[in-house]
Amino acid sequence: MPNRQERDQGWNHQEWEPSRALTGALEELPLPVQIPRNEDLANLKAHLEEALETLERLERQRGLSDREKMRGGALRMLLTSIKQVK
């Protein structure tokens, strides 16, 4: 949902949502008490990179809502964490 400032500026677009592939990959990860396997991380990394590329493209085309920016930040932090594990 656009915030008040975005609404006042005529913000009119469909909000970006994570893909089913990304949410599915996140759901398949082992619980935090278990150590994720490298293949799990590699699978998730590909979905994260795809989602971030989509958000970057949307940002260039129309800008991002506050919610989309927050989601992008969370995805970047998760991707950074995965890269540090490897």
Per-residue pLDDT of the chain (86 residues; tens, 9 = 90+): 444 555 555 556 788 888 888 888 777 776 554 555 667 777 788 889 999 999 999 999 999 999 999 999 999 988 888 887 65
Number of domains into which the chain is organized: 1
Residue 55 lies in a domain: yes
**Which residues are within 8 A (CB) of 75 and not within 5 positions of it... i.e. 6 or more apart?**
48, 51, 52, 55
Residue 8 lies in a domain: no
- pLDDT of 15 reads 87
Residue 12 lies in a domain: no
- pLDDT of 1 reads 43
What is the domain extent for residue 65? 18-85
Largest CA distance in the chain: 47
Coil vs helix vs strand at 86: coil
Residue 13 lies in a domain: no
Residue 72 lies in a domain: yes
